[in-house]
Every structure is written in C-alpha cells, then in structure tokens.
Structure 1
C-alpha cells in the first residue's frame, strides 16, 4: 500500500461516506448500497478501490460479503501526517535556540 493510493481513494466523497458508514459497523455491499442512489456495480467499484488502497477488508459470510475498516492503514496515514508536524516543531525549536 502506498500512501498516495490511499489518498487517491480518500479523495472521492462517495468513498469517504462508505468509510464513515463502516466506522459505525461492518456492512454488506447491499447494506452500503442502500445509502446511495447509484447502481450496485458502482458501489462495488468504490469498494474495490478501497480494498486496493487497503482501507477496507472483506470477508465472506455465507452468501454475503461483509466489509469492515482496516484500521492499521489509518494509523499509518496518521503517523505519516503527524511526522510533518514533528518536523515543523523541531525546526521552530532550532530557530528559537
């Protein structure tokens, strides 16, 4: 997983809504589709992009596939973003010395 691919996946508002839905609980593709006025193949496309970015995982449960967040990737992204704040803080401390 590259962070760039995760950001590309996060750039779409539909995918961000899907992630918000999955934050509440695991859902099937059909349950996710109920929240949108788009075709199920379109929802599947968004879910595949989220899977490729390793932001969600899927697990077969009988005839259904259940989707859930893969929180470790969000932790990686958060750590990457926080590292920029740390660099800024270190630079400010050097300038104040």
Structure 2
C-alpha cells in the first residue's frame, strides 16, 4: 500500500483524528493519550500503530514511557502530494515543479 493510502486509512478513524488533534498542541505519552479516551489500551495501541505506519506520528521511548508527537512535515507533504495529483491543475503544476527542480 502506498503512503497516501496509509495516510487516508489513518485519517478515516475519528479516534485517530482526535489523537492527531491532541498531538498538534504538544507531544504526549501513551498514558496521557489514553486518559482522553474510553477505550482499552490494546485498542489505543492499535490506533497509534496505524498512525505511526502512516508516518503521521513518531514515537520515542524515554525511560519507561513512550512519547508521541505529530510528524507535521509528513502530514503536510502527503496532503500537498494528494492535491497536486488530484486537483484539476495538479498535473501541470507537478510537471512545472519537476522542471524547476531539474534546472538546479
């Protein structure tokens, strides 16, 4: 599955979109995220894994806690790629952008 499909799969879930919203303000531990939801830890873990697989969040182990943060660059990049591929003028813009990049 290509990355844009992984991103849209990840964004298709309300709990995952809420997780992204929480992480947009500040990094949180898995425990801090779980406090905001009424779901089992295995279910939350599955949501976090899907978001990580789509490269929308990153997780870093600090001591005994896993800290999650939003991967802003990848989210923006994927949405720009999507728009460039599917908006009516996207194809032309993508070709123009490639030509500019090739000149450098």
In structure 2, the partner of 1:4 is 5
Question: Once superposed, what is the RMSD of the aligned Cα atoms?
Answer: 1.9
In structure 2, the partner of 1:70 is 71
Report the TM-score, using the length of structure 1 for normalisation.
0.83
In structure 1, the partner of 2:23 is 22
Distance 2:42 2:18 in 1: 17
In structure 1, the partner of 2:48 is 47
Number of aligned residue pairs: 90
Which segments of 5 or more consecutive residues in structure 1 lack a partner in the other structure? Answer: 91-97
Report the TM-score, using the length of structure 2 for normalisation.
0.78
Distance 1:55 1:65 in 2: 16
| 1:77 Cα deviation after fit | 2.0
Distance 1:87 1:28 in 2: 38
Which segments of 5 or more consecutive residues in structure 2 lack a partner in the other structure? Answer: 94-104
Does structure 1 conserve the Cα–Cα contact (< 8 Å) formed by 2:27 and 2:67?
yes
| 1:85 Cα deviation after fit | 5.5
Distance 1:69 1:28 in 2: 12
